[in-house]
């Protein structure tokens, strides 16, 4: 027994030993938890507890203080979605002296539902009977935070710097598997780190007590900037660790014995999330007025800022809130396996499906239930094997369809529909990333902004279909002369832009001339026409006065305008 299972046993025994005379905590852990699945009898979980209005009482355990990270649950509570589902929900928080691990709370029947992260798969692989009900964040908010003045932006550069990561002391197992997976992927040995247990406060980062903290990217960078510091985030995705963020989970027995309750709670919670993300100001005000946040600095403006960060992680415009993608979980499981964090896993019992029919609550102990099920399977082996074959084939098809749909939606959100190159939205992200990197390391960065000369006249003379062909072929011709590190995008209409990392003005000018020459010599051939076109280009490089990537873009635009004013079909550089 490893990981959280061992930790739960240790924690329970400590609590048992410290119980005052006359208090009742329960039997010692060696009696109460022979296995995690025996921590609660069938009748205990299936027995409904109702309030005076006839609604069933359930508890949701959150892992942190009140903040917009949990807005959907607050909205479901305040808007009456839980009440309408026949539920009386208590939302519990962690913090301010109340330390509660959601996994532990659910396993020991102190809560019916909890919020966790992708680490839950590791706990499940170790034998804890937990199951994911909904993936709330499609991307993890976990990141590593340091300050620009500490002079590093890669985990490999930590060396003997003081860090504060949630790793248990004395060689015991860690508490955060996503952090450990990232360290392993970066080739960093956790045992060699100059590590102290984190207190999750920014002051230690500011005064140098620590130079690296694990944080949720939705909030802490905001506070760092209030101190006048420049935060530097190191994302696990930079090392191939692309996990889910917050997820809603429960005990497997509750799914088996109370499927209607589980389904009702899940649907009401997701209804709350849909409301929260479309009524940000209202829900932010609700949290600010009704809930005790971590400290006074957690104001309404931060709640709004956190909401926007959260939307980027949840991607509700691309993926249905709560969607569980088995293919993505397979990838996460394989990542854990490749890093020797888990051996075996069983996604069928780990991932909840509202359509899955639970075992009947016949009152028999689990061992007899499974024995009877095995006997039934033997009597219908051939028919069941065929049925499962067909179901598995359909499931694989559905998984592939959903993955294809997610990929298609992501492509639509990031790629230009006509040319297939990056769109303006992705360009804005790339520009700021490269601008921040150039600033941190004192590197060169240049931009080429160009468009098609007299394109409106061209469209009026030859038609929009041929105009579209010109734009498509410009993208193809231009990509052929760019480097693999360059970011090429359609900025809008007939305008294109290229971000050139580690490139000074002289080199950027040479690349711009290649683009200009290649397109000038190119011809668009149709059944009845052979047409040429020319480009006007503006080039600019990063300046010490630039505060944002858009400052650089503005100067490239000025040079583009100068090229047009000078007669078009040429390239102008900001000297």
- Chain centre distance of CA 534: 43
* pLDDT tens-digit series, residues 298-357: 788 889 989 998 998 998 988 899 999 999 999 899 988 887 888 889 999 999 987 764
- In whole angstroms, give the CA distance from residue 390 to residue 396: 10
104, 344, 494, 507: which is the annotated catalytic residue? 494
pLDDT score, position 228: 87
CB atoms inside a 10 Å sphere around CB 31: 9
Please write down the long-range contacts of 476-481, taking CB distance under 8 Å and 24 or more positions apart.
477/518, 477/519, 477/522, 478/515, 478/518, 478/519, 479/421, 480/518, 481/511, 481/514, 481/515, 481/518
- In whole angstroms, give the CA distance from residue 314 to residue 320: 9
* pLDDT band for position 111 (cuts 50, 70, 90): very high
Active-site residue 494, yes or no?
Answer: yes
* pLDDT tens-digit series, residues 224-251: 888 888 999 999 888 888 899 999 999 9
* pLDDT band for position 163 (cuts 50, 70, 90): very high
User: Is a pLDDT exceeding 50 seen at residue 40?
Assistant: no
For domain 47-139+245-359, which architecture applies? 3-Layer(aba) Sandwich (3.40)
- In whole angstroms, give the CA distance from residue 174 to residue 472: 52
- In whole angstroms, give the CA distance from residue 425 to residue 318: 14
Helix (H, G, I), strand (E, B) or coil at 23: coil
Contact 47, 109 (CB under 8 A): no
* pLDDT tens-digit series, residues 472-500: 999 999 999 999 889 999 998 899 999 99
- What residues does each domain of the chain span? 1-34, 47-139+245-359, 142-238, 424-573
- In whole angstroms, give the CA distance from residue 103 to residue 117: 10
* pLDDT band for position 33 (cuts 50, 70, 90): very low
* Domains 47-139+245-359 and 424-573 alike in fold: no
CB atoms inside a 10 Å sphere around CB 333: 22
- Using DSSP bridges, classify how beta strands 535-541 and 113-116 pair: parallel, antiparallel or unpaired: unpaired
* pLDDT tens-digit series, residues 530-545: 899 999 999 999 999 9
* pLDDT tens-digit series, residues 255-302: 999 999 999 999 999 999 999 999 999 999 999 999 888 777 778 888
Helix (H, G, I), strand (E, B) or coil at 60: strand
CB atoms inside a 10 Å sphere around CB 417: 9
Rg (CA), the chain: 28
CA angle at 43 for the pair 41 and 49, rounded to the nearest 5°: 120
User: Is a pLDDT exceeding 80 seen at residue 51?
Assistant: no
Torsions phi, psi for 431 (to 5 deg): -60, -50
pLDDT score, position 380: 57
* pLDDT tens-digit series, residues 92-105: 988 655 567 899 99
Question: Which residues have C-beta within 8 Å of that of residue 246, sequence separation ≥ 6?
Answer: 69, 115, 116, 117, 136, 137, 141
Query: Could you tell me which CATH number the domain at 142-238 has?
Result: 3.40.190.10
User: Is a pLDDT exceeding 50 seen at residue 143?
Assistant: yes
Query: Could you tell me which CATH number the domain at 424-573 has?
Result: 3.30.70.270
């Amino acid at each position: 027994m490893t990981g959280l299972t061992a930790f739960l046993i240790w924690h329970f025994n400590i609590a048992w030993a410290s119980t005052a005379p006359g208090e009742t905590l329960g039997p010692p852990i060696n009696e109460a938890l022979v296995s995690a699945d025996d921590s609660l009898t069938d009748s205990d979980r299936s027995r409904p507890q109702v309030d005076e209005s006839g609604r069933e009482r359930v508890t949701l355990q959150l892992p942190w203080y009140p903040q917009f990270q949990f807005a959907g649950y607050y909205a479901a509570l305040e808007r009456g979605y839980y009440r309408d589902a026949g539920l009386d929900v208590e939302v519990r928080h962690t913090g301010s002296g109340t330390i509660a691990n959601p996994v532990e709370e659910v396993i020991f029947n102190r809560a019916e539902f909890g919020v966790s992260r992708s680490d839950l798969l590791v706990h499940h692989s170790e034998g804890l009977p937990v199951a994911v009900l909904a993936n709330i964040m499609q991307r993890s908010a976990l990141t590593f935070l340091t300050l620009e003045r500490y002079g590093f932006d890669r985990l490999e550069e930590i060396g003997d710097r003081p860090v504060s990561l949630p790793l248990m002391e004395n060689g015991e197992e860690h508490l955060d598997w996503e952090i450990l997976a990232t360290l392993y992927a970066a080739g960093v040995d956790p045992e060699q780190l100059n590590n102290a247990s984190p207190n999750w406060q920014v002051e230690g980062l500011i005064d140098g007590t620590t130079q690296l903290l694990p944080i949720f990217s939705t909030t802490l960078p905001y506070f760092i900037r209030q101190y006048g510091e420049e935060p530097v985030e190191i994302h696990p995705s930079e090392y191939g660790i692309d996990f889910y963020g917050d997820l809603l989970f429960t005990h497997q027995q509750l799914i088996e014995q109370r499927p209607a309750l589980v389904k009702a709670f899940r649907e009401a919670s997701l209804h709350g999330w849909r409301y929260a993300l479309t009524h940000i100001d209202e829900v932010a005000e609700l949290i600010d007025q009704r809930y005790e946040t971590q400290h006074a600095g957690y104001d309404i403006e931060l709640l709004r800022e956190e909401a926007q960060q959260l939307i980027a992680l949840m991607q509700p415009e691309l993926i249905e809130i709560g969607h569980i993608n088995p293919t993505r979980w397979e990838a996460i499981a394989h990542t854990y396996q490749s890093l020797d964090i888990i051996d075996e896993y069983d996604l069928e019992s780990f991932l909840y499906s509202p359509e899955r029919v639970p075992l009947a609550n016949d009152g028999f102990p689990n061992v007899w239930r499974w024995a009877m099920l095995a006997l039934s399977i033997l009597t219908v082996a051939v028919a069941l094997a065929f049925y499962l074959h067909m179901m598995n084939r359909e499931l694989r098809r559905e998984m592939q369809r959903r993955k294809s749909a997610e990929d298609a939606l992501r492509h639509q959100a990031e790629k230009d529909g006509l040319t297939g190159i990056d769109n303006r939205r992705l360009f804005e992200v790339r520009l700021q990333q490269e601008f921040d990197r150039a600033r941190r390391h004192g590197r060169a960065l240049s931009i080429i902004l160009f468009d098609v000369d007299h394109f409106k006249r061209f469209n009026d003379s030859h038609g929009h279909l041929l105009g579209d062909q010109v734009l498509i072929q410009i993208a193809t011709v231009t990509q052929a002369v760019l480097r693999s590190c360059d970011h090429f995008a359609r900025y809008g209409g007939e305008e294109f832009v290229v971000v050139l990392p580690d490139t000074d003005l002289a080199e950027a000018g040479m690349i711009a001339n290649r683009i200009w020459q290649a397109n000038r010599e190119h011809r668009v051939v149709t059944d009845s026409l052979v047409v040429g076109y020319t480009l006007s280009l503006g080039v600019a490089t990063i300046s010490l006065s630039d505060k944002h990537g858009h400052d650089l873009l503005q100067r490239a635009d000025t040079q583009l305008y100068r090229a047009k004013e000078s007669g078009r079909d040429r390239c102008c550089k900001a000297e």
